[in-house]
Structure formats: C-alpha cells, structure tokens
Amino acid sequence: MLALAELKKFAAEGARILGSDSEIAQFELYCSSTEQLVARLNYTSDIPSRGVEECKLMAADGFAIRIVTRRNSHEVGHSFIAGDLSREALREALARARRAAVIDPHFPGLPNDPRKPAARAGGTGDLIRTGNTEVANAAWAIVDGAIGAFTKGVPIESERQGLVLGGDVTLTRDRFAIAGSNLSGIRTDQTAYFSSSVTAIIKSPESRATAIALGASRADLRNKTTRLGHDAVTRAIAMRHGVRLAPGRYRIVFGPQPVAEMLCYMVIPSLTTGAFQASNSAYHGRFGSGVMDSRLTLFDQPAAAGRAIARNITCEGLPARRTMLIREGRAIGLLSNFYDAHRLASDEHRGGKLGPDAPAKPEFSAGNGYRLGEGGGRRFDSHPGTAATNVVMRTLGGVDEREMIRLVGDGIYVGRVWYTYPINGQRAGDFTCTITGDSYLIWDGKLAEPLAPNCLRINANLGEIFSAPIAVGRRTMPAIVWGAPEMFYVPSIAADSIGLSAVAPESAG
C-alpha cells in the first residue's frame, strides 16, 4: 500500500495546482490506496485438494478529481487515473474532467466543511500491518479444526460421508487523502478489518452449516478464526438427515444472519435520502412514523469500540457520524451522501415522499458518502454513493433465544438464508429468500429435527417480520452478508405466520 504521507503530499500538491486554475470555481481531489488479501478455503476429503488456495491480493491505487467550472455553477466534470500520482497524471485528469463536464441542474456544489474536523479517539489497529503469513495461518487453522472435528464426529466404520469445506479469510485495508476548495486542510483516514465465513458440507445425506468471524486486530484474527472450522463441521454433523417440511405458514425464529440479510437487501436501501427522493423506499410516506415494532432501534455506527469497521472521515471529506435510523420503531433518520441530501431537501414533492409525520424542514446529514468498490474497500474509481458501515439493531424487552423458541411453540428456527432480494419492487417491501442451512424444526417449544437445506423459500413482507414480532432477542450478534460492504450486529427475531413455499428437490442442490 502507498503510505498515508505519500497520499497526503499528493493531495496537497494537487490542491495547489487545481486551486490556481482560473477556470475552476470548485475542485475536489481524492486519492486512495486499497488492498484486499483473500485466502480461499478449498478442502474436500474424497478428492485431492489444496486445502487453502494461494493468497490473492487485489490492490488499487490512484486518484480522482471533480471540478466545477467558473462559467456555470452546475457544470461539473469528473475523471480518475490509476497507479500514477504525478503532476503529469493530474494534468491529464484535469483535461479529461474538462472534456467530460456536463450540466446537472440539481448539482448543489461540492461538499462544504470549512471547520477543522474534531480529533477522534483511537485509530487503526495493527491489521494495517498484517501480511500474507498471518492470513494464511488463520486459514490453515480453520482447515485443521474442520478436519479434526470431522474425524472425531464421523466414525470410520459408518457409511462414507465426505466433507467439503469452503469459504475465505479476507483482510481489507484502505487509506485515503482528500483535498477540496470547500474543505479546510487535507483530510485523511485509514481502515483495516477482516471477515471470515466458513461453510462445511457433509455429503450423503447432505447437510451444511456456516460459522463466521470478523474483527479489527491481529488478536481477533488469531483468536476468532481458530474454532471456525471446528464449529462449522460440528454443527453440520448434527444436521445430518434433515427433514423436508410441507409449504405453508409457520411461526419462525429468524437468527442473526437472516435478520442481517433482510436489513442489507431491504431495510438499509430503503433508509436513504436517494431512495425517498426516487420514491423507491419501502417506507415511502412514512418517515417520522412507526415502521417497526417499538422494541426495535436501528442505527449505523461508523466508529466504535468492538466494531469491525472504523471510519472517521467519509470519502467526501466530511466527518463520519453515527446515524440513528429507527428509534423505538419510528423512522427518524436517513443515510445520505452530499448530493442526495440536497436532492431530497430541495424536492418540491418532498412532503408527499416523506409523509405527514415528517418535520416541515427535515435536515439530513451527509455523513455516509463513500467511494466503495466490490467487497467494501475505498476506491478512487468509484463515485461517491451512500453506504452504511456497522449496522446495529438494539432491542427493548428482549429475551434469550431459548425463551424465543419456547414462545414460538411449534415452528421453525431459521439460522441461515441466501438469495435474498425484493419482489414487486423495493417500495412494496416484499422479498424472497431461500433457507440454506443451520435451521431446525421447533416442536413444543424446543429445537427438534434439522431442516434439510434449500428445501423451502420464504416469501414475506418487511412488516410481517419487524412490525409485530412475537419476541425480539436480547443479545446482539455479529453477522456477515456475502459481498456487502457493511457489517451487522443484530439480534434474533421471532415472527408469526410467515409464508413458505417448496423448492423442487432437483433444484435444491
């Protein structure tokens, strides 16, 4: 990775060059260096396999500029250049930005913050200096734990049952510097965190289970990944001989991972200024009113102890702040970048889009504008968009999972889903997903037989899950959604009368 001092030096020099151009009214210079180190797990017990694939490094260094011309305050140009932080590259980027300039009647100008950002406690942990060896060691510890649990849990004399282990250990780290005509000084930030997801599949008959870990330090990387393989295989062994259930409506306890999937694909995309401005929110016309049960509170927390991601400055150069989205069931805040906050605030139809319970002149802070690439790292070649960081759901009057299962009586515990997506459009709030593993039947208030993976599909509306749950969990647990830039810290939720449809056996995988 490029050193933070090098990025800061280029930003300062570039700011002097752009600031001296008489044809430019406003400018922004953003430069970043990002690495994502991935160790993929690839173990099969019955055929030769590598166990851990060679660590792959995906890196991106470069810069982007945005300029506003002096002849028209709505004429804005953008360009980026990869792998070259030089004066010549900056001049080339400026020429490209001029050629690409377009007039956007809604453009409010570049983000403005003349104040010096307040100093934040803490900083990036030691993962910023972690190399291939430590990531590979964590991956091999997962494989060793999985093989040990499989050997111990499946007797040699039993019917042959193969083990397939997949997943990854991914270390993401980025740093950036930004300078702008509307910002005071050069602003910098850097982040490093890891995530790991491990799935164990036991064949004949097929069962599967997944274990995850995430963290922000070398100690987390060593300690939290040590038992992932063991835990995934142990649960997969317990889930052999899963039963198929008839379609219908059931009481369901949704574990943390399914709750995170629903938040990731349905709730968070609906709680942005962009979604409300486009009339594409599942909570259209309901801002300021109750959208969830009063026991539920939801917020985004970009920097806090115990969370994987720590961000102090957004990719627009503004302070990253905690954003309260839903407080005791009421929608009171939205995620936003600078452009979308202005679009909604100046929309002549804003009142109808937000709804009658919204404040007459709502203010939405642009504290969530990030340039993120695939997998969540900051990228110079991405436009500023709206994204969350650490999504946290807290509860009032929560109970432990054992009590939730008792309250459900007869139903299903859903531990993991995939292929979650909206149906009938985002605004309808309808979604579907497939139960993929870590799930059990519930009989008489206790966990019973395991549910066969990929045999049932959930078809529901957000209101059925979050508006009147049977019970909410007391404990907040970390959860990962594959490919999502956010991390989730959420409880379990029990809901009544959720529709399930059958997945045909030949398509169940």
Query: pLDDT at position 155, please?
Result: 67
In terms of Cβ atoms closer than 10 Å to its own Cβ (0-12, 13-18, 19+), residue 123 is: exposed
pLDDT at position 34 is 96
Can you say whether residue 13 is alpha, beta or left, with left for phi > 0 and alpha for psi between -120 and 50 degrees?
alpha
Query: What is the DSSP pairing of strand 56-69 with strand 207-215?
Result: unpaired
Beta bridge partners of 53: none
The pLDDT profile of the chain, 509 residues, written as one tens digit per residue, is 999 999 999 999 999 999 999 999 999 999 999 999 999 999 998 889 999 998 999 999 999 999 999 999 999 999 999 999 999 999 999 999 999 999 999 999 999 998 877 665 545 689 999 989 999 999 999 999 999 999 988 765 555 678 999 999 999 999 999 999 999 999 999 999 999 999 999 987 778 999 999 999 999 999 999 999 999 999 999 998 899 999 999 999 999 999 999 999 999 999 999 999 999 999 999 999 999 999 999 999 998 888 999 999 999 999 999 999 999 999 999 999 999 999 999 999 999 999 999 998 888 999 999 999 987 899 999 999 999 999 999 999 999 999 999 999 999 999 999 999 999 999 999 999 999 999 999 999 999 999 999 999 999 999 999 999 999 999 999 999 998 999 999 999 999 999 999 997 655 54
CA 462 – CA 290 distance, rounded (Å): 13
Structure-derived torsion over alpha carbons of residues 407, 413, 416, 417, reported in degrees to the nearest 10: -90
pLDDT of residue 400: 96
Maximum Cα–Cα distance for the chain, whole Å? Answer: 82
pLDDT at residue 119 in the model: 61
For residue 249, the 8-state DSSP code is E
Secondary structure (3-state) at 190: strand
Q: Positive or negative, the Cα torsion across 300, 302, 305, 307? A: positive
189-220: burial string, b at 16+ Cβ within 10 Å, e else: bbbbbbbbbbbbbbeeebbbbbbbbbbbbbeb
pLDDT score at 506: 54
Amino acid (1-letter code) at residue 452: A
Number of Cα atoms under 13 Å in the Cβ half of residue 267: 31
Tokens of 412: 């299903």
Q: What is the pLDDT of residue 411?
A: 97
Q: Residue 256, preceding bond cis, omega within 30 degrees?
A: no
Tokens, residue 466 = 């979050």
**Helices 4-19 and 87-99, axial angle in degrees (round to 10):** 50
pLDDT of residue 442: 98
